[in-house]
Structure 1
């Protein structure tokens, strides 16, 4: 499974919604503290892009040499239609400064968040993340494509997703009426099954970690093939 640090780095690099909470910025609108872009530097610092006149940039500018604490709060929502769509949250706390040495374009400024601590609470569980682990971790190689891939699976592979219930050894106590792909990473696929008896999530691991989206097709084919053989034993 991905480590807590990797999951946090993945959420930082994802398109999940995020806000930057800075003490003293009371009464600001959420869109004013939502970075337009975000990325992570090689040294683990998180960079956030804001309009030059945003409250966050003004606060970082006025703080100058003082340490300005801030927390990046990330909320991850499933990109497919499913109940209880929030898949997880992550918090990255540290100290905020202006990174004016980075090219940002007219009227925009990059802010640097030096990571002091982090934590994640998602489908895997809740865990703290040490700063050195955050720096050393890498985002999942499928993060930039996950939303598109899950939407494709939901719209074009409903039958194959239904087969996967046969692999959920014993967990399939309900007759599933719907199977929704909930999360995807290099290690496997998580599916939510719903039916008259309720709902449950099941995780299906690939035979080996997928290094990138180009190799995902082969891994998904092997997974669906194994599920079909279990779901239709009379044909084998």
Structure 2
């Protein structure tokens, strides 16, 4: 399974929505507290780009030598329609400073010196050591997961339904009364997670591991083909 540090790095460097929370700033300014870009530096600090007139930018500029506490909160929402759509959240807290010269006109880059990191997702809630966060790498499919899951959902419904056969009696009894829907929920280099739903109130997740970690799209195609072949027999 991906480590908590890897999962957090994946969320930080994904396209998930994020907001930079600074104590004392009004909630009405949230639209200008959402970074337009974010990445992780070699020391594990998080760099976020915001509009130059963002309240967070003004606060960091005026703080000067004082330490300005802030939290980057990331919310991960499944890219396909499914009950209980929020897949997880990550929080990176630390100290905020401005970084001149990295952004174009009308934008400012802020540096969040990482102090505490935590993630609460489909794998569970964990605290991440900042050094582990620094050294982790994001999942290689983070930038493609949305389109891959949407493709599976739109074009491979029959193969996904076959996965129920691999879940034993748990779905065999249910199929007799009501055929559950199988929705692709999450994908990473280690496997595919689906959500099996009879209705909006009765769902459970199932995880299908690949034979080994997948490194690229070619390997992913082979792993998915192997998985669907196993489900069909």
Partner of residue 35, structure 2? 35
Q: TM-score, normalized by length of structure 1?
A: 0.93
Question: Are the aligned partners of 1:145 and 1:213 in contact in 2 as well (CA < 8 Å)?
Answer: no
- Deviation per residue, 1:60-83 (Å, 9 max, x gap): 101111111100011100000111
Match of 2:196 among 180, 186, 193: 193
Any conservation in 2 of the 1:19–1:34 contact (CA below 8 Å)?
Answer: yes
Shift of 1:212: 2.3
The aligned counterpart of 1:55 is 55
Runs of 4 or more off by more than 3 Å in structure 1? none
Q: Any gaps of 5 or more consecutive residues in structure 2?
A: none
Aligned length in residues? 228
Cα deviation 1:68-104 (Å, max 9, x = unaligned): 11000111000001111000011000111111142x1
Aligned pairs for 1:1-236 (under 5 A) are 1-102=1-102, 104-172=103-171, 173-175=173-175, 176-195=179-198, 198-229=202-233
Q: Deviations over 1:25-72 (max 9, x none)?
A: 124322111111111112211110111111111011011111111000
Shift of 1:158: 0.2
**CA distance in structure 2 between the partners assigned to 1:227 and 1:8 by the alignment:** 31
Q: Distance in 1 between matches of 2:148 and 2:81?
A: 14
CA gap of 1:171–1:133, structure 2 versus 1, over 3 A, is farther
| Greater Cα offset, 86-95 or 24-33 | 24-33
TM-score, normalising length from structure 2? Answer: 0.94
Q: Say whether the 8 Å CA contact 2:29–2:55 is kept in structure 1.
A: no
Aligned equivalents of 2:181 and 2:3: distance in 1?
Answer: 30
Superimposed CA distance per residue, residues 139-158 of structure 1 (whole angstroms, 9 cap, x where no aligned partner): 11100000000000000000
Rounded to whole Å, the distance in 1 between the matches of 2:218 and 2:44 is: 27
Unaligned runs of 5+ in 1: 230-236
Moved more, 197-206 or 178-187: 197-206
What's the C-alpha RMSD, in Å, of the aligned pairs?
1.4
- Rounded to whole Å, the distance in 2 between the matches of 1:214 and 1:52 is 42
The Cα shift of 1:170 comes to 4.1
